Amino acid sequence: MRNYIIKRLLLGVIVLMGVVVITFFLARVIPSNPAAQWVGPRATQEQIDKATIELGLDQPLYIQFTKYLTDLFKGNLGFSLRTKQPIVNELKTYLPPTIELVIMSTFIAVLVGIPLGLNSAKRKDKALDHFCRFFSVGAVSLPTFWVALFLQLIFFRALNLLPLGGQIDAKLKLIYQIPNYTGFLFLDSLISGNTIIIKDVYRHMLLPAITLSLYPVGLVARMTRSALLEILSEDYIKAARSYGIHEQKVLWLYALKNSLGTTVTVLALSTGYTLVNTFLVEAIFSWPGVGSYIAGAVVSLDYPAIIGVTLFSAFTYIILNLFADIIIALDPRVRV
Amino acid sequence: MNKKLSVFLAIVLILSILAGCGNNNTTQNTPTQEPLDIAYYAYNSEPILNWDPSVMFSNGIIILNNTYETLLRFYPDTKEFEHVLATNYEKSEDGMVWTFQLRKGVTFHDGTPFTADAVKFSIERTLEIGQGASYIWDPVEEINVIDDYTVEFRLSYAAPLDQIASSPYAAFIMSPAIKDYPSDWFEAGNEAGTGPYSLENNSMGDEVILTKFNDYWKGWDGEHFDKIIIKKIPETSSRRQMVEKGEADITLQLTPEDIEALKNNDSVKIYVEPSFTNLIAFFNTEKAPLNDINVRQALSYAFPYKDVVDYAAGGYASQSIGAIPKGHWGRGENLFQYSLNLEKAKALLQESGIQQNELKLLLTYMSGDEAERKAAELYKAELSKIGVELEIRAMPWESQWEMAMDPLPENRQDIFIMYWWPDTSNPYSWLYSLFRTEESILFNMSYYSNENFDQLIDLGYEKSGIDIEEAENLFIEAQSILIDEAPAIFIMDKEDVWVTSSSFSGFKYNPSYPNVVFFYDTYRK
């Protein structure tokens, strides 16, 4: 087991290195002039020349790359061309809101998706099953931007129940001291114990989290359903039933437990996917997360920022994959 | 586990979601002594990305023009200057020496008193860093402090220093105390201006909160806002809904469809204002056959001006007359305007010996810009009628620009579409940057070079500070050359449409300061 994990970790490092190499050179092949970006629009030639030297862009590409790598090992991802801030600081600002949102949506996915799939499997080909299957196909295939706008129209415009966007009411911010212990706003507000802030932050989170959760909900429900259907036809379930064990217990305890491996794998991968694909949802809900950040960086070809976010998402993918693999490896039926 | 548990879980889930609902009256039952008057500006992009007033050269002016002040402020409709930090100024007859009397009793937000030293320090710092729009100060040779409240600028060539000093970029006066602050002080999000509002809270790239500066020299009598929230709301439909519901007070950049729908809504006010942004299509004059004036004129006659105004800009624009947009001085109202005339275009192409279906052109525009895309597609449709094939390529700005700077004219695009807006309120801002002979390519995307034109606009710029009427005539004469030789199609002058909540009053847009709301002048009624 230990060897397995070490092997996987080493593989992960190799993948990360590949990502660095590819993004670095790809970003440099695209026609653009980072020095001109650094100086700003309408720069003069002298300003651009000066910046070219300052940024080391007059050096050959392989020297620039070695320098980038050495900086990387020191935890320095360079400076954004747009804002001139260290990328590490920018990520510290923009990542927490996204991570919070993704955790929340994963939470909803588990809470809704698993019961949905379970009940669907239990009443196979009955009305409930059809509904659940219809719902999960819809959840996977509805475009998120449409769902987001639709939810806004209902909950903000028509019913006036939930806020339109943002992380917290801007005016509330002027009245209360907004705590900042961890950078994660929801966590911070929980720590502060101020119920008004907790409620407000939570309300702001609901619509974007529900929108984001639709894809994983559908996925989890379908996966749970198909895994359970297979399991339910196995002998040990028949045996359990013939012993007269309560049907709910058979389902929730004996069957579900064995289907969780698939579900967790799917969930881990879809969380990784959600983490880097929040852009549309963030834009519509004015969520100050990493999705909006990377979109801005791509449009202005801010290559240090692009590499920074790419590296982060590659890293997360690897970790989540590893997590899924370990979960599967823990299953005694799987021999490592 | 049993049925009860799953039912219980479902109830908990539903309840917890519902708990978040309920009326959003959180702001009302809060313990404040007196209600604050708060203005909310829903902005379509990052409110600010760089806090250094010497360097910032983009969106950030919407913040910095409320936290900092300039010596003068320019009003393009009357061509007059408001005296802000300067109370008066004189210029020598040749326009080479400018003396500013400064306002007394002004303090910076950090408590430092405002004096001539601050002016000298600010402009010299901006020049020394040499980034952003610092080049506007290029004519300045030296800055002399005569006494505490008098400062003298000596120029190396005649230039309209009053217009430069009122620029929306790089003309901010900052506290001299900042030289002792750490070098990353601005980067961390700080300011040291004299403006009516000071920075209270800043989450970079997302939201900025300003609060009134109690010692502001104009005082706080009368009605003003106490706090200003400026927040990035990228989604158009969100901005519309916020201003409709009164959650936001002012916004812009809505779609023409949204504006149409809001017209009959009493809860909002709509302001349609000229902007100083115009859309221009540049021909690659260094590449055959676009080096032929007749071909360029033909292509100018094939452009669907009216359709582009109506459909690409939703009617919120007007066809340009020359390079200078509507409402800006130096615009030649009587200059020739091309119109869509395909017969004439065909005849001109034949004159140049170009056969049907022989000409293939590449047009580049900035990806993501809907108005540019629609304009390009409408143009393509017209061109196909006269046997010219247009390839339209959307590119990120950086790539579009880089391609335009290729050393070989053959490798560059044939037509380059972009917007332009002024850095100082002077026609030179367009004519110099876009059409003056360039040694290395920067923004002259036509690669246009005409000695006569260069002389006219240089003289016009020199005269701007001395005799603005004469300068205006020179600039108009220069533009008539451009229209005749057609290095570019002057497509349209855009209009800005502002939507405010009905209680937001005192707003008057000054297009010399793009997207800026001077919040000190506004109040709730």
Sorted by where each starts, the structural domains of chain B and their CATH numbers stand as 38-45+181-273+496-524 (3.40.190.10), 68-176 (3.90.76.10), 274-495 (3.10.105.10)
* Residue B358, pLDDT score: 84
* Residue B160, pLDDT score: 93
> What's the whole-number mean pLDDT along residues B32-60?
86
* B228 in Cβ contact with B209 (< 8 Å): yes
CA A237 – CA A253 distance, rounded (Å): 11
The per-residue DSSP string of A237-273 comes to HHHHHHTT--HHHIIIIIIHHHHHHHHHHHHHHHHHH
* Strand B227-232 relative to strand B388-395, pairing: unpaired
* Residue A336, pLDDT score: 47
Element (H, E) at B318: strand B317-319
Residues 233-252 of B with CB under 8 A from A: 233-235, 237-238, 241-242, 245, 247
Nearest to B73 by CA among B498, B508, B523: B508
CB neighbours of A224 closer than 8 A, spacing ≥ 6? Answer: A113, A114, A116, A117, A118, A120, A121, A256, A259, A262, A263
Asked if residue A63 is part of any domain, the answer here is no
> What's the whole-number mean pLDDT along residues B315-338?
94
Work out the minimum CA distance from A204 to partner chain B, whole angstroms.
9
Query: In this predicted model, what pLDDT tens digit does every residue of A174-232 receive, in sequence order?
Result: 778 777 788 888 888 888 888 888 999 999 999 999 999 998 999 999 888 988 888 88
> What's the whole-number mean pLDDT along residues B23-36?
51
Residue B33 has pLDDT above 80, yes or no: no
SS3 sequence of A53-88: HHCCCCCCHHHHHHHHHHHHHCCCCCECCCCCCEHH
CB neighbours of A169 closer than 8 A, spacing ≥ 6? Answer: A163, A200, A204, B24, B26, B27
Angle between helices B451-464 and B468-485 (to 10 degrees): 160
Residue B44 has pLDDT above 50, yes or no: yes
Domain of residue A269, CATH code: 1.10.3720.10
Q: Between residues B68 and A143, which one has the greater pLDDT?
A: B68
Chain B residues inside the 8 Å CB shell of A155: 21
Asked if residue A52 is part of any domain, the answer here is no
* Strand B227-232 relative to strand B38-43, pairing: parallel
Residue B437 touches chain A, beta carbons under 8 Å: no
Both tokens of residue B473?
A: 């005539």
Residue B40 touches chain A, beta carbons under 8 Å: yes
Count structural domains, chain A: 1
Q: Which of A131-140, B254-263, B308-317 has the lowest mean pLDDT?
A: A131-140
Query: In this predicted model, what pLDDT tens digit does every residue of A69-110 receive, in sequence order?
Result: 898 888 888 888 888 888 998 898 899 999 999 999 999 999
Which of B9, B235, B253 would you mutate first to test chain A, the one with the most A CBs within 10 A?
B235
Whether omega before B289 lies within 30 degrees of 0, making that bond cis, reads: yes
Both tokens of residue B153?
A: 């600028």
Alpha helices in B363-439 (DSSP H): 370-385, 397-404, 428-435
Asked if residue A101 is part of any domain, the answer here is yes
CA A99 – CA A276 distance, rounded (Å): 10
CA B401 – CA B385 distance, rounded (Å): 29
CB neighbours of A124 closer than 8 A, spacing ≥ 6? Answer: A229
Residue B17 has pLDDT above 60, yes or no: no
Residue B8 has pLDDT above 80, yes or no: no
* Residue B69, pLDDT score: 97
Please report which confidence band the pLDDT of residue B9 belongs to, taking 50, 70 and 90 as the band edges.
low
Please report which confidence band the pLDDT of residue B28 belongs to, taking 50, 70 and 90 as the band edges.
very low
Which of A164, A175, A245, A246 would you mutate first to test chain B, the one with the most B CBs within 10 A?
A164
CA B221 – CA B207 distance, rounded (Å): 28
> What's the whole-number mean pLDDT along residues A238-255?
83
Residue B365 touches chain A, beta carbons under 8 Å: no
Percent of the residues in chain B that have a pLDDT greater than 90, as a whole number: 74
CA B104 – CA B114 distance, rounded (Å): 8
CA B205 – CA B45 distance, rounded (Å): 8
Residue B1 has pLDDT above 60, yes or no: no
Note the Cα A69 to chain centre separation in Å: 26
| pLDDT, mean over chain B | 90
Contact B46 A163 (CB under 8 A): no
CA B45 – CA A303 distance, rounded (Å): 20
Q: What is the dihedral of CA B201, B206, B207, B208, to 10 degrees?
A: 60
Work out the minimum CA distance from A31 to partner chain B, whole angstroms.
5
Q: What is the dihedral of CA B104, B107, B111, B115, to 10 degrees?
A: -50
Q: How many residue pairs bridge chain A and chain B with CB atoms within 8 Å of each other? A: 172
Residue B10 has pLDDT above 70, yes or no: no
Query: In this predicted model, what pLDDT tens digit does every residue of A100-147 receive, in sequence order?
Result: 999 999 999 999 998 888 888 888 888 888 988 888 888 888 888 899
> What's the whole-number mean pLDDT along residues A253-278?
82
CA A1 – CA A9 distance, rounded (Å): 12
Both tokens of residue B212?
A: 């009134």
**CA separation (Å) from A78 to A33, A56, A91, A312?**
17, 12, 12, 14
Chain B residues inside the 8 Å CB shell of A301: 396, 398-399
Burial class (CB in 10 A: 0-12, 13-18, 19+), B44: middle
* Residue B34, pLDDT score: 63
Query: In this predicted model, what pLDDT tens digit does every residue of A276-313 receive, in sequence order?
Result: 678 889 988 989 888 888 888 887 788 889 888 888 88
Residue B130 DSSP symbol: -
Of B2, B26, B209, the CB nearest to A174: B209
Percent of the residues in chain A that have a pLDDT greater than 70, as a whole number: 98
Asked if residue A57 is part of any domain, the answer here is no
- The one-letter code for the residue type at B280 is I
Contact B26 A157 (CB under 8 A): no
Nearest to A159 by CA among B430, B321, B21, B91: B21
Residue B255 touches chain A, beta carbons under 8 Å: no
Q: Between residues A31 and B452, which one has the greater pLDDT?
A: B452
**CA separation (Å) from B70 to B99, B197, B309?**
15, 14, 35
Residue B3 touches chain A, beta carbons under 8 Å: yes
* B135 in Cβ contact with B129 (< 8 Å): no
Beta strands in chain A (DSSP E): none
> What's the whole-number mean pLDDT along residues B98-118?
96
Of A170, A173, A301, the CB nearest to B396: A301
Coil vs helix vs strand at B220? coil
Query: In this predicted model, what pLDDT tens digit does every residue of B279-301 receive, in sequence order?
Result: 999 999 999 899 999 999 999 99
Of A33, A45, A170, the CB nearest to B402: A33
* Residue B472, pLDDT score: 94
The per-residue DSSP string of A191-202 comes to HHT-HHHHHHHH
Please report which confidence band the pLDDT of residue A335 belongs to, taking 50, 70 and 90 as the band edges.
low
Residue of B nearest to A177 (CA): B201
Look-up: residue for tokens 């459909």? Answer: B311
> What's the whole-number mean pLDDT along residues B219-226?
94
CB neighbours of B108 closer than 8 A, spacing ≥ 6? Answer: B114, B118, B174, B175, B177, B192, B193, B194
* B497 in Cβ contact with B259 (< 8 Å): yes
Instruction: Give the burial string for A84-122 (b: 16+ CB within 10 Å, else e).
Output: bbbbebbbebbbbbbbbbbbbbbebbbbbbbbbbbbbbb
CB neighbours of B117 closer than 8 A, spacing ≥ 6? Answer: B145, B148, B176
Using alpha carbons only, what angle is made at residue A252 by residues A249 and A255, rounded to the nearest 5 degrees?
Answer: 100
Burial class (CB in 10 A: 0-12, 13-18, 19+), B222: exposed
* B74 in Cβ contact with B81 (< 8 Å): yes
Please report which confidence band the pLDDT of residue B12 belongs to, taking 50, 70 and 90 as the band edges.
low
Domain holding A110, by residue range, is 91-302+316-330
Asked if residue A273 is part of any domain, the answer here is yes
Residue B13 has pLDDT above 60, yes or no: no
Work out the minimum CA distance from A202 to partner chain B, whole angstroms.
6
Asked if residue A46 is part of any domain, the answer here is no
Nearest to B398 by CA among A97, A35, A23, A273: A35
Query: In this predicted model, what pLDDT tens digit does every residue of B492-516 receive, in sequence order?
Result: 999 999 999 999 999 999 999 999 9
CA B205 – CA B221 distance, rounded (Å): 33
Asked if residue A265 is part of any domain, the answer here is yes
Contact B27 A172 (CB under 8 A): yes
* B233 in Cβ contact with B44 (< 8 Å): yes
> What's the whole-number mean pLDDT along residues B387-409?
90
Q: Between residues B208 and B202, which one has the greater pLDDT?
A: B208
* Residue B32, pLDDT score: 47
CA B393 – CA B410 distance, rounded (Å): 16
* Residue A122, pLDDT score: 84
Nearest to A80 by CA among A298, A326, A331: A298
CA B190 – CA B39 distance, rounded (Å): 21
SS3 sequence of B243-294: HHCCCCCEEECCCHHHHHHHCCCCCEEEEEEEEEEEEEEEECCCCCCCCCHH
Note the Cα A155 to chain centre separation in Å: 24
Nearest to B173 by CA among B107, B222, B230: B107
* Strand B150-155 relative to strand B197-203, pairing: unpaired
